[in-house]
């Protein structure tokens, strides 16, 4: 999906009343009058907000007799979600690279040849029969 589509979604979501309309529409198809009753703006303003949400591809309406019912569009947020995922993935990759680089810079360098020879486990020395014994 294009950034233009994501821009339209983010522009539509920039208004608190529009976000509230989307929250109300989660409950199912709703007529304008019912939405207006639950919002701090009048019915004409709700209609304008619904038009912006519809143009952004977030909602749709269908006629049921004399009423228009507004509902969420499945996948209407997909372009914004994809944009956020791409952006977040880029940020996380940069963070991981920085952490890795800092982690490597803070480790002391191994002595020359340390990687070439295997580490030997330290064993306690056992007394040898050849060592002189001290007398009591």
Give per-residue pLDDT as tens, 104-134: 877 766 677 665 555 555 555 555 555 555 5
Round the average pLDDT of the chain to a whole number and report it: 84
Is a pLDDT exceeding 90 seen at residue 49?
A: yes
What local confidence, expressed as pLDDT, does residue 120 receive? 55
- pLDDT mean over 25-41: 95
Question: Tell me, what's the pLDDT at 105?
Answer: 76
Q: How confident is the model at residue 54 (pLDDT cuts 50, 70, 90)?
A: very high
pLDDT band at 136 (very low <50, low <70, confident <90, very high): low
At 30, give phi and psi (nearest 5°). Answer: -140, 140
Say if residue 61's pLDDT is above 90: yes
Tokens representing residue 60 in the block: 């749709």
Q: Would you place residue 78 in the very low, low, confident or very high pLDDT band (cuts 50, 70, 90)?
A: very high
- Can you read off the two tokens belonging to residue 70? 């507004």
pLDDT of amino acid 70: 97
pLDDT at 116: 56
Q: CA separation (Å) from 99 to 1, 69, 88, 94, 102?
A: 32, 51, 16, 9, 5
Write out the DSSP string of the chain.
--HHHHHHHHHHHTSHHHHHHHHHHTTS-EEHHHHHHTSSS-HHHHHHHHHHHHHTTSEEEEEETTEEEEEEPTTTTHHHHHHHHHHHHHHHHHHHHHHHHHHHHHSPPPPTTTTTSPPPPP-PPPPPTTSPPPP-
> Which has more pLDDT, 49 or 120?
49
């Amino acid at each position: 999906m294009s950034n233009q589509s994501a821009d339209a979604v983010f522009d539509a979501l920039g208004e608190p009343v529009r976000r509230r309309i989307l929250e109300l529409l989660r409950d199912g198809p709703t007529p304008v009058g019912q939405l207006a009753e639950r919002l701090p703006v009048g019915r004409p303003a709700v209609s304008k907000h619904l038009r912006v949400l519809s143009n952004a591809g977030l909602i749709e309406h269908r006629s049921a007799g004399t009423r228009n019912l507004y509902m969420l569009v499945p996948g209407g947020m997909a372009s914004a979600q994809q944009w956020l995922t791409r952006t977040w993935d880029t940020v996380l990759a940069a963070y991981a690279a920085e952490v890795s680089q800092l982690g490597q810079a803070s480790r002391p360098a191994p002595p020359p040849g340390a990687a070439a020879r295997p580490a030997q486990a330290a064993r306690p020395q056992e007394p040898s029969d050849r060592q002189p014994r001290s007398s009591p």
